[in-house]
């Protein structure tokens, strides 16, 4: 607050001084209104009107002794100056019976930054409250935590000469702080780059060191320097208006470096998660990492922006409330999009399928190609592409063929009715041996039996499982097994049946029947089967 403004408002008359330099208690002051009390406190602590014994009158003498009141008055002004809190005198109430509209009490709160700093009326006078008195020491330690407030008593003695409105010691302090900050930034950045980067290079993380860690080094040094500057600037006791904007700028710029640091830090975590995802079999992890990176970076920017606005003393409460109301309206308008977003989160958490799996869900049948925030892309067996909203697919029953450990194959092999029992037994035994010999079949469970007598055939159940990773491998294994069945039947002389109707007529001597003649017994059939298997294994 400038001295001219105080001089224009002060209505006191200086009556006299004590010979020792102490002010007599005959200087005029008033505590009749909040305006008069603040004017008494701050007006008598100015450079050209420094009378701390009068400024201490703003504390109730029944609560604080005079010597202690003087210290508290000085410290409270140092707190206000150090935080750059400018008291606008024209806004102070000048009514003796002023009542706060919120608390409905005879109180006046000076600043929102310190809710415990307020005046209250006692009798016909306005004093600083008991809560304010008990809080001043704590506030002072917060503003000057390094004990640098002791310098406030020493620095002014270095001269009263002013250059561009600042004392010589203030200009010297600004120069020292600037040089110290520059040197500290260079040393910290160099130390961080050399130690951390060399350590990463030693373990083989060259890409992480060069592309991610190096850009993080400078923001980290600024994250340390700016809080120190915020602590050191109040010691300079700059003019209140200048001090206000200097601290305001420092507090607003500091979150910018924090945003840059955490923005880069997200890249470091993403790099680590990407390495972890490469070690897992699931392909969803590979798509989840970039999505998480984008979400975290957006979160860092939004939260950092709110911190900047808060440090610039904007009322972000109303902004957050507005965002909440707007978010509610947006949520109602875009509920399908939000539903799909949470559906994608459920897919990433539950993992009902992954990229490359063959799934069936309702009318959807195909291979998963991509899982996004809104929809899942599926390549059908017609080679077309279907985009299914995640909110829809998560509410459906999903048959994931890609998670099968074994792929079932079942068929019925139809034999003609005139096939002898011995031949059927040999054929069934040959089918079982065929399953045991094939490299891609499940050996611990299969069912091959003479199972049914159909309308036009004797049916053999052929129920097996393939242990293969894909549908193409399954088709290839089916091809191989069916081909071996045909070869086995040809070798044993088994005839496959097909739907027919036979008209049985009397056999003529000169004409043989159409039915084949089976002239091998069980022993001969076993011999043929062994020969066939021996030839196959060669």
345-393 pLDDT per residue, tens: 777 777 778 787 888 888 888 888 888 777 888 888 888 888 888 878 8
CA distance 495 to 489: 7
Secondary structure tally for the chain: helices H, strands E: 17, 15
404-537 CATH, one of 2.60.40.10, 1.10.10.10, 3.30.70.100, 3.90.380.10: 3.30.70.100
CA distance 158 to 176: 15
Taking only the tens of pLDDT, the chain with its 538 residues reads 444 444 333 433 333 333 333 444 456 788 999 999 999 998 888 877 888 899 999 999 989 898 999 989 988 988 888 777 888 888 899 999 999 888 899 999 998 888 899 999 998 999 999 999 999 989 888 887 766 555 555 555 555 556 666 767 667 777 887 888 788 777 777 777 666 666 666 655 665 555 556 666 667 777 777 777 777 777 777 776 777 778 778 888 888 888 888 887 787 777 777 777 666 665 556 666 777 777 788 888 888 888 788 777 776 666 666 666 655 555 555 566 667 767 777 777 777 787 878 888 888 888 888 887 778 888 888 888 888 888 788 778 888 877 778 889 999 999 998 899 899 999 999 999 999 999 999 999 999 999 999 888 999 999 999 998 887 889 999 999 999 999 999 999 899 987 766 665 555 566 665 666 666 677 888 888 888 778 777 6
The distance of Cα 517 from the centroid of its chain, to the nearest Å, equals 79
Residues in the chain: 538
Give the pair of three-digit tokens for residue 526.
């076993």
Question: Model's pTM, two decimal places?
Answer: 0.48
Q: Maximum Cα–Cα distance for the chain, whole Å?
A: 162
CA distance 520 to 208: 76
The DSSP symbol for 495 reads: P
CA distance 296 to 267: 10
Strands 45-46 and 125-128: unpaired
CB 422 within 8 A of CB 522: yes
Name the segment(s) of the chain with CATH classification 2.30.30.60.
336-402
**Which residue intervals of 233-334 are DSSP H helices?**
240-278, 284-311, 316-333
CA atoms within 13 A on the CB side of 448: 23
CA distance 308 to 314: 9
Phi, psi of 470, deg, nearest 5: -135, 170
Name the segment(s) of the chain with CATH classification 3.30.70.100.
404-537
If residue 6 lies in a helix (H) or strand (E), which one and from where to where? helix 3-9
CA distance 482 to 490: 12
Block residue for tokens 């060259």: 206
From residue 41, alpha-carbon distances to 12, 133, 415 in Å are 13, 14, 114
Angle between helical axes of 471-492 and 421-437 (0-180°, round to 10): 150
Phi, psi of 149, deg, nearest 5: -65, -20
Instruction: Name the 3-class secondary structure at 50.
Output: strand
From residue 484, alpha-carbon distances to 424, 435, 467, 488 in Å are 16, 10, 18, 6
Instruction: Report the DSSP beta bridge partners of residue 376.
Output: 371, 388
Instruction: Report the DSSP beta bridge partners of residue 411.
Output: 462
Phi, psi of 363, deg, nearest 5: -85, 0
For 336-402, CATH gives 2.30.30.60
Q: What angle do CA 192, 189, 208 make, to 5 degrees?
A: 50
Give the pair of three-digit tokens for residue 431.
């089918």
* Dihedral sign from CA coordinates of 95, 101, 107, 111: negative
Phi, psi of 407, deg, nearest 5: -115, 120
């Amino acid at each position: 607050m400038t001295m001219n403004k105080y001089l224009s408002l002060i209505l006191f008359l200086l009556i006299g001084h004590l010979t020792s330099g102490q002010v007599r208690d005959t200087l005029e002051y008033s505590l009749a209104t909040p305006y008069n009390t603040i004017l008494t406190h701050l007006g008598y602590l100015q450079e050209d009107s420094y009378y701390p014994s009068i400024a201490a009158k703003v504390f109730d003498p029944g609560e604080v002794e005079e010597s202690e009141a003087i210290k508290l008055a000085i410290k409270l002004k140092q707190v206000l100056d150090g935080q750059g809190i400018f008291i606008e005198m024209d806004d102070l109430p000048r009514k003796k019976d002023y009542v706060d509209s919120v608390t409905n009490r005879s109180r006046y709160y000076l600043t929102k930054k310190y809710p415990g700093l307020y005046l209250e009326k006692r009798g016909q006078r306005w004093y600083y409250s008991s809560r304010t008195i008990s809080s001043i020491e704590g506030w002072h330690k917060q503003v000057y935590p390094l004990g640098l407030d002791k310098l406030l008593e020493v620095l002014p003695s270095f001269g009263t000469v002013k250059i561009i409105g600042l004392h010589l010691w203030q200009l010297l302090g600004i120069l020292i702080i600037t040089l110290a900050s520059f040197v500290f930034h260079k040393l910290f950045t160099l130390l961080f780059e050399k130690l951390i980067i060399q350590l990463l290079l030693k373990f083989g993380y060259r890409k992480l060191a060069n592309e991610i860690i190096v850009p993080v080094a400078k923001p980290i040094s600024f994250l340390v320097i700016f809080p120190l500057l915020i602590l050191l600037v109040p010691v300079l006791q700059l003019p209140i208006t200048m001090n206000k904007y200097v601290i305001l700028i420092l507090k607003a710029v500091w979150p910018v470096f924090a945003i840059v640091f955490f923005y880069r830090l997200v890249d470091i975590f993403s790099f680590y998660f990407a390495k972890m995802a490469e070690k897992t079999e699931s392909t969803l992890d590979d798509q989840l990492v970039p999505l998480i990176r984008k979400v975290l970076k957006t979160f860092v920017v939004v939260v950092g922006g709110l911190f900047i606005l808060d440090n610039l003393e904007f009322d972000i409460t109303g902004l957050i409330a507005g965002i909440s109301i707007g978010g509610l309206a947006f949520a109602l308008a875009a509920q399908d999009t939000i539903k799909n977003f949470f559906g994608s989160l459920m897919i990433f958490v539950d993992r009902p399928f992954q990229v490359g799996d063959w799934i069936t869900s309702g009318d959807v049948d195909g291979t998963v190609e991509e899982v996004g925030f809104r929809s899942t892309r599926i390549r059908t067996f017609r080679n077309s592409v279907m985009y299914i909203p995640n909110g829809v697919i998560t509410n459906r029953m999903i048959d994931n063929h890609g998670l099968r450990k074994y792929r079932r194959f079942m068929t019925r092999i139809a034999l003609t009715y005139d096939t002898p029992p011995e031949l059927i037994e040999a054929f069934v035994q040959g089918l079982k041996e065929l399953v045991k010999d094939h490299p891609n079949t499940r050996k611990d469970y299969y069912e091959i039996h003479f199972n049914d007598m159909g309308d036009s055939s004797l049916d053999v159940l052929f129920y097996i499982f393939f242990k293969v990773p894909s549908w193409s491998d399954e088709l290839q294994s089916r091809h191989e097994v069916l081909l071996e069945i045909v070869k086995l039947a040809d070798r044993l002389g088994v005839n496959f049946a097909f739907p027919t109707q036979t008209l049985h007529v009397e056999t003529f001597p000169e004409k043989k029947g159409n039915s084949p003649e089976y002239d091998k017994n069980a022993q001969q059939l076993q011999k043929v089967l062994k020969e066939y298997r021996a030839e196959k294994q060669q």
